[in-house]
Amino acid sequence: MTATLLAAEAAKGGFTDINLGTVIWAWVSFGVTFFILSKVAWPMLARKMEERELRIAEGLKKAEEAEARARELAARQEQIFEEARIQAQKFLAESRAMAENVKNELLGAAQQEIAELRERAKKEIALEQAKAAEDLKRATVELTLEASGRLLKRELTDEDHLRLAREVVDEVALTL
């Protein structure tokens, strides 16, 4: 470094002195470099920058499209969920209605069966009462015949038996 300083002092000028030749060569070097860069490097850099800008713009556009698609899919999904919810509520309502109908049908069938059993029981009771009354009449007739035979101490003819039996039965029937 000291050699450079000594060489500059030897050239009869100071370190800050401006030399016209150096200035011209600096401008010529700058112009040539600028010309070469403007013809070779800058168009390539500009093209790369434009390509990058286009890629970024395309990426942003795709991102916006994806976001719009995502919103659309979310809205569609919400719509499908709402339809499914409505369908499920409809199925529940139908199931409840069907269960209620089945319950009512079973209850009606049970009530009808109970009514039929009651009617059958009433008929059986009426038949048993009639049978008991008939048995009672027969027993009454037999007792009457037995009693009257003992009272009379003789045997009655069939006609007498029938006449006496009819009279007793008629009397007993009137009291019942």
pTM of model > 0.85: no
DSSP result, the chain: -HHHHHHHHHTTS-TT---HHHHHHHHHHHHHHHHHIIIIIHHHHHHHHHHHHHHHHHHHHHHHHHHHHHHHHHHHHHHHHHHHHHHHHHHHHHHHHHHHHHHHHHHHHHHHHHHHHHHHHHHHHHHHHHHHHHHHHHHHHHHHHHHHHHHHTSPPPHHHHHHHHHHHHHHHHHH-
The answer to whether residue 94 is domain-embedded is yes
The answer to whether residue 6 is domain-embedded is no
Buried b (16+ CB within 10 A) or exposed e, 46-63: eeeeeeeeeeeeeeeeee
Domain total in the chain: 1
The answer to whether residue 60 is domain-embedded is yes
The answer to whether residue 7 is domain-embedded is no
How far is it, in rounded angstroms, from Cα 151 to Cα 137?
20
Tell me which residue range forms the domain holding 159.
Answer: 20-175
pLDDT at 3: 47
Mean pLDDT per 10-residue interval, the chain, length 176 residues: 49 68 92 90 89 94 94 95 94 93 92 92 89 79 69 67 75 70
pLDDT at 12: 56
pLDDT at 6: 46
How far is it, in rounded angstroms, from Cα 70 to Cα 73?
5
The answer to whether residue 14 is domain-embedded is no
The answer to whether residue 13 is domain-embedded is no
pLDDT at 170: 77
How far is it, in rounded angstroms, from Cα 140 to Cα 131?
14
Contact between residue 118 and residue 111 where contact means Cβ atoms under 8 Å apart: no
The answer to whether residue 4 is domain-embedded is no
